[in-house]
Amino acid sequence: MSRTLTASLALAVALAVTLGAGAQAQSTPQPDRVEEDWQLVLGTPDTNVNCPQVSTAMLSTGVDTDPHLVFKLNYRDQPSYQSGGLSAQAWQGNTFLSNSDQGTVQCSTANETITWTQRMSLSGGNLNFKVLSGTSTTWGDFGVNDTDLAVTTASSLTDLSGYSPTNSVAKSGATYVADRVVTMTLLRVRYYQGNTLLSTDSTSRQVNVAP
């Protein structure tokens, strides 16, 4: 076999490998839905001063000015402050967009454990936020119905590849009287494309509850 033919074959093989690798990289599925499982353990609440107050955040990207979810427990502050209850809120940077509240009761049970899932998803040009599967002593089961603790805002995003659980942990904590919170933990994260589960991150991430 001539050197020219050998070189041509080598080039063809290298090109085929490169194109195959490129096609594989392009076909890597990106999530359009992310779910976080949370656990909050309280110390001794005080209804006289409506504490503790706790907030989580779920960012669609790593940029603070992009749309994100805020979930507030044991208080509601939009459009005005009210003690107790739960509030799912959509924000664009520092601009409040919409909210969906549930319950009005204040936490009053010592050592209460509260668990819930919060979901962020894309569909039809919208970014959707939903709190679901919540369990508590104070509010019972919450986020059960489709419209409970659910907010939506327009978005140009095509996937949620910019989401990071590190941002969620960094932006979450106690907003008032942190010493009444024992632990606050992001237990696991699930990534989906449509209804297909892409992966599960079971790393338990502890939140620094101090403001």
Asked if 92 and 81 touch (Cβ cutoff 8 Å), the reply is no
What's residue 210's pLDDT?
74
pTM: 0.86
Gap between the Cα atoms of 146 and 132, Å rounded: 8
Asked if 193 and 157 touch (Cβ cutoff 8 Å), the reply is no
Map residue 165 onto helix, strand or coil. Answer: helix
- Name the residue ranges covered by the structural domains of the chain: 1-29, 31-206
pLDDT in tens, the chain (211 residues): 555 444 444 444 454 444 455 544 457 899 999 999 999 999 999 999 999 999 999 999 988 888 899 999 999 999 999 999 999 999 998 999 999 999 999 999 999 999 999 999 999 999 999 999 999 999 999 999 999 999 999 999 999 999 999 999 999 999 999 999 999 999 999 999 999 999 999 999 999 987 6
For the domain made up of 31-206, give the CATH fold.
Answer: Jelly Rolls (2.60.120)
